[in-house]
Structure 1
Amino acid sequence: MAHDQAQQQHPLSTYLWIWGLLFVLSVLSYMVDYVGFEGLLRWSLICLFMLLKAGLIIAVFMHMMWERMAIACAILIPPGVLIVFMGLMAIESNYTLIARLRFLLN
């Protein structure tokens, strides 16, 4: 009985739905280039689809959806913090660039 509980199996339909969603997200990502979006919209959509696909893969295929909260937080929080720090660095770099251009042009 304990051996049966240790081997938790998930329905195949779950994996098929996720494969279908990954396919749809990949098609949408391809369509961003095909339609010809440019600039910030293009990169925002590409990054959004990339993060959605990565989230689905982590949640289902790496079994994070069924793990305890402590394990999920240990794996998901550090990349989230890194993304916040990268955003802060991007804001700081823009501020530094503007400050340098103002100094050089005056």
Structure 2
Amino acid sequence: MASEGHQQHPLRVYLWIWFLLFVLSVFSYLVDYVGMEGYLKWTLITLFMLMKAGLIISVFMHMVWERLAIISVVLVPPGVLLFLMGLMMLESNHTLVSRLTFFAN
């Protein structure tokens, strides 16, 4: 009988990622605790959130050890959706400006 070998990752990797997630969470809360306002606050909170999501996806969902094909199937569609959302934001700004110009008369 052929036995399937499963790769076991060292516990140290998971503990290190948990520590990094804790540190990023502390930084995220400190941004709000310090009292930052405006775009800087939301940019930092979003950056820390994306970094935590990247760590969770790469290690706990085992994406860092997967083939490129599986990574592409999981990560390319959300990337395309974000790109299309950016295009819609640009179009909505153009539409708003043109409507304000037309209806202001």
TM-score by structure 2 length?
A: 0.90
Q: Shift of residue 102 of structure 1?
A: 1.7
Superposed CA RMSD: 1.6
Partner of 2:96: 97
Greater share of residues in helix:
1
Distance 1:38 1:88 in 2: 27
Q: Shift of residue 17 of structure 1?
A: 0.8
Distance 2:41 2:98 in 1: 28
Unaligned runs of 5+ in 1: none
After TM superposition, the runs of 4+ consecutive aligned structure 1 residues lying more than 6 A away are none
Distance 2:65 2:27 in 1: 28
Q: Shift of residue 97 of structure 1?
A: 1.2
Distance 1:86 1:17 in 2: 34
Partner of 1:54: 53
Partner of 1:37: 36
Q: Shift of residue 4 of structure 1?
A: 5.9
Q: Shift of residue 87 of structure 1?
A: 1.2
Instruction: State the aligned residue count.
Output: 105
The amino acid of 1:10's aligned partner reads H
Q: Shift of residue 94 of structure 1?
A: 1.3
How many percent identity over aligned positions? 67
Unaligned runs of 5+ in 2: none
TM-score by structure 1 length?
A: 0.90
